[in-house]
Amino acid sequence: MSSAITSLTHGQYQTVYNVFSFALASMLFTSIFLLVSQGRVLPRYRQALVISAMVCGIAAYHYIRIFNSFNEAYLPTTLGGDYALSPMGFNEAYRYVDWLLTVPLLLLETVAVLALPKVTRASLLNKLIPASALMIVLGYPGEIAADTAPKMIWGALSTIPFLFILYVLFVQLTKSLDRQSPEVSATVGRLRLLLIATWGVYPISFLFPVFGLDGSDAFVARQVGYSVADVLAKCLYGLVIYKIARMKSADDNPAFAADEFEDEPASARTAA
């Protein structure tokens, strides 16, 4: 369970409610789009789209659970008035279960869409997958800690595998990009920056109490921050993976490119 926030104002409740609704809709329909779009890429790149759809699908399921938990946790006291915490409480653990499943898959889809040699692919995944799981596992005790000291300790421990992931993505993965087209390499570069930008929201939200933002304001800011970051890190990330798969399909097969980009300008391949 998350630390108990005993009450929310009507505006705070509606803000969290609407953000959860937005995140759920984004995850669900991005997952559907990625699944039905498999025919728009060559078979060797479809695994990456399936994994992206799985990421969004898993997140959609957990947002349903988060949504339901939130509705059961805070009940109206009067019409248009405050919402009080019920005995059910709000279960923050759903987020960490979601991240434990989806963060490794995000890294897997990044490697899968590049269609790297088997040895290179295995080497990258054997480093990225365990590190990502460890990052989430170490972050959870800090999330539920009430005091600043344990929150900082667990946050620092969780940062270690995070930095290792960045090293693998920006140093070791870069060595494999020389086999990619300039357009694909540039898009992968932007994809990694998107990952840093979105993942950077999580520790900031995690440390709101340390920055002096606490109580219901911190709760609302954390839920909004986590949800928006989730949409960017899963939905937008998945759509960029789709773009890379389209670009690589066009590079690999001129007949595919001619069919898919017929009557479109040459620049459409990089904008697909």
Query: pTM to 2 decimals?
Result: 0.88
Question: So what's the pLDDT on residue 43?
Answer: 93
How many C-beta atoms lie closer than 10 Å to residue 263's C-beta? Answer: 5
Q: Has residue 1 been placed in a domain?
A: no
Q: What is the mean pLDDT of the chain?
A: 88
Whole-number Cα distances in Å, 46 to 43, 49, 183: 5, 5, 19
- Flag whether pLDDT at 261 surpasses 90: no
Dist. CA 272–CA 254, nearest whole Å:
15
How many C-beta atoms lie closer than 10 Å to residue 23's C-beta? Answer: 26
Dist. CA 119–CA 103, nearest whole Å:
22
Question: So what's the pLDDT on residue 265?
Answer: 52
Domain that holds residue 92: 7-271
Dist. CA 10–CA 18, nearest whole Å:
12
Question: So what's the pLDDT on residue 179?
Answer: 80
- Flag whether pLDDT at 226 surpasses 50: yes
Rank 26-35, 77-86, 140-149 by mean pLDDT and report only the highest. Answer: 26-35
Q: Concatenated DSSP letters for 133-188?
A: HHHHHHHHHHHH--SHHHHHHHHHHHHHHHHHHHHIIIIITGGGGGGS-HHHHHHH
Q: Has residue 2 been placed in a domain?
A: no
Provide the CA 2 distance to its chain's centre, in angstroms: 20
The CATH number covering residue 58 comes to: 1.20.1070.10
Residue owning tokens 């789009």: 33
What is the percent of the chain where pLDDT is above 70?
92
Nearest-5° Cα angle at 240, 185 to 247: 55
Q: Which residues contact 131 (CB under 8 A, 6 or more apart)?
A: 161, 164, 165, 168
Residue 224 confidence class, pLDDT cut points 50, 70, 90: very high
Dist. CA 204–CA 209, nearest whole Å:
10
Based on the number of CB atoms within 10 Å of its own CB, is 4 exposed (0-12), middle (13-18) or buried (19 or more)? exposed
pLDDT digits (tens, 9 = 90+) for 164-199: 999 999 888 888 887 888 888 899 888 888 888 888
Dist. CA 230–CA 101, nearest whole Å:
13
pLDDT digits (tens, 9 = 90+) for 91-107: 988 999 999 999 999 99
Whole-number Cα distances in Å, 267 to 27, 152, 248: 29, 48, 14
Whole-number Cα distances in Å, 30 to 144, 183, 264: 30, 24, 25
Q: Has residue 157 been placed in a domain?
A: yes
Q: Has residue 71 been placed in a domain?
A: yes
Question: So what's the pLDDT on residue 254?
Answer: 85
Number of domains the chain is built from: 1
Residue 1 confidence class, pLDDT cut points 50, 70, 90: very low
What is the percent of the chain where pLDDT is above 90?
55
Question: So what's the pLDDT on residue 31?
Answer: 98
Residue 264 confidence class, pLDDT cut points 50, 70, 90: low
Question: So what's the pLDDT on residue 209?
Answer: 67
pLDDT digits (tens, 9 = 90+) for 38-81: 999 999 999 999 999 999 999 999 999 999 999 999 999 988 78
Residue owning tokens 């947002």: 63
- Flag whether pLDDT at 200 surpasses 90: no
Q: What is the mean pLDDT of residues 123-145?
A: 90
pLDDT digits (tens, 9 = 90+) for 31-42: 999 999 999 999
- Flag whether pLDDT at 250 surpasses 70: yes
- Flag whether pLDDT at 82 surpasses 50: yes
- Flag whether pLDDT at 2 surpasses 60: no
How many C-beta atoms lie closer than 10 Å to residue 77's C-beta? Answer: 11
Dist. CA 146–CA 92, nearest whole Å:
14
Q: Which helix (H) or strand (E) holds 71?
A: helix 46-73
